Amino acid sequence: MTSPALDNVPDSAKRTDKLTVFSWAMWDWGSAAFNAVLVTFIFAVYLTDSVGAQVDSSRTPAQWLSVAMTVAGLVIFAVTPIMGQRSDTRGTRRRSLAFWSFITFVLMAALYFIRNDAPVYFWVGLVVLAIGTITIEFAEVNYFAQIAQVSTKDNVGKISGLGWSFGYFGGIFLLLICYFGFVAGNGGLLGISTEGGLNIRLVAVLAAVWFGLSALPGFFRVPEIPPSGEKAGSIKDSYVKLFRDIKELWQVDRNACYFLFASAIFRDGLAGVFAFGAVLGVSVYGLNAGDVLIFGVAANVAAALGALIGGLIDDIVGPKIIILTSLFILAGTGIAMYFVEGPLAF
């Protein structure tokens, strides 16, 4: 299956050797520090269960987290469609990836200052986590686009699955380090004080360093793309071009428009699962913080294997069968969760 995106990348911007693919996938390995450690399994749970306990509000901390993530999602929805367009036009895909990755790194490190002994920390932590969710999505727009530079039409599914699996494997290793080093027992094997949430705050610093170091190889190895030759214009011009392209696509291939719309809803649904999976595990199903991390490791193992196997099958049978099968399993599991209760069922 030939992808126009793959065909349109000039040879000067492509590098498909194993070292480059590995360097590119390392960004995904590092991004697990934000997605798995901060948003899903550790910091969001700490924010809603420990820091949020100091807040006197008609809404629960989990509800406020939902509000913050909704606002972040709206910003992502409004801005990301033109980000890739502008990066490709100006030839700044790698530079944009590095910029937004650095901003995300700073925000992750800033979570060190979110203590659990005053209400103000909850609101600050909520804002920082929401902004970080936005900036890492901005970075991902350019990272995902780089797959056209590190793969061919014959192995794009394999490379895509490799990248996803690197993210999950990175999550496995980092979650295990966090569990045994900082969380298990009372401050982990390192014996770190839990006063003021210090052990979890240090987890945020570790996650930031993990992400920063992992992202570096790709910045040096994956080539920058050349400018398209078109004029980038203003932000308004970019939105005008976006709507014009959507209108043309609707006239030429409506199925592609349906897919893009469905894909947006699907990604929002996944974002909800990632943001609230562990929070619901603690607040609704009764897991403790240690159990959540063990669950996180198990989930990442399953996801990593699924990404690798799915990527290989994709190159053989195409993506449609993979997507439909995965959607069926995901929907069935979600429905089943509505009817069960308790840690074991979770």
pLDDT tens by residue, 40-73: 888 998 999 899 988 988 899 989 999 999 899 8
Q: Three-state DSSP class for 234?
A: coil
pLDDT at 334: 87
Separation between Cα atoms, residue 69 and residue 48, nearest integer Å: 13
Output the CA–CA distances (angstroms, integers) from residue 228 to 47, 92, 234, 338, in the order listed. 44, 10, 16, 49
Which among 197-206, 233-242, 255-264 has the top mean pLDDT? 197-206
Percent of the chain surpassing pLDDT 90? 45
Is residue 3 situated within a structural domain? no
CA dist., res. 112 & res. 97, Å (int): 24
Residue with tokens 């719309």: 261
Structural domain includes residue 5: no
Q: Which domain holds residue 154?
A: 13-339
At residue 138, the pLDDT reads: 94
Q: Tell whether the model's pLDDT for residue 95 goes beyond 50.
A: yes
Sign of the dihedral through C-alpha 306, 307, 308, 314: positive
pLDDT attached to residue 1: 37
Among the ranges given (118-127, 186-195, 283-292), the one the predictor scored with the smallest mean pLDDT: 283-292
Average pLDDT, the chain: 89
How many angstroms separate the CA atoms of 204 and 83, rounded? Answer: 28
Q: Is residue 152 part of a domain?
A: yes
Number of domains, the chain: 1
Half-sphere exposure of 55 (CA within 13 A, CB side): 23
Angle value at C-alpha 125, between 278 and 135, nearest 5 degrees: 85
- The Cβ-side half-sphere exposure at 237, using a 13 Å CA radius, reads 8
* Of 344, 193, 188, the residue nearest 281 (C-alpha): 344
Domain contains 51: yes
What is the pLDDT, as a whole number, of residue 182? 92
Highest mean pLDDT among 194-203, 315-324, 326-335: 194-203
Phi-psi region of 233 (alpha: psi -120 to 50; beta: other; left: phi over 0): left
pLDDT at 2 exceeding the cut of 50: no
In a domain, 7, yes or no: no
Residue bearing the bigger pLDDT, 283 or 290:
283
- Sign of the alpha-carbon dihedral angle for 182, 184, 189, 192: positive
Binning pLDDT at 50, 70 and 90, where does residue 21 land? very high
CA-to-CA distance for 293 and 295, rounded, in angstroms? 5
Distance CA 185, CA 179 (A): 9
> Is the per-residue pLDDT at 10 higher than 90?
no
- 3 pLDDT exceeds 70? no
240/324 Cα distance (integer angstroms)? 33
Lowest mean pLDDT across 1-5, 31-35, 122-126: 1-5
23: domain CATH number?
A: 1.20.1250.20
Q: How many CB atoms lie within 10 A of CB 106?
A: 13
Tokens of 144: 């995902």
Give the integer Cα–Cα distance in Å for 41 and 179: 11
Whether residue 6 is contained in a domain is answered as no
Gyration radius of the chain's alpha carbons: 21
Residue 1 counted as domain residue? no
In 10 A of CB 194, how many CB atoms? 15
**2 found inside a domain:** no
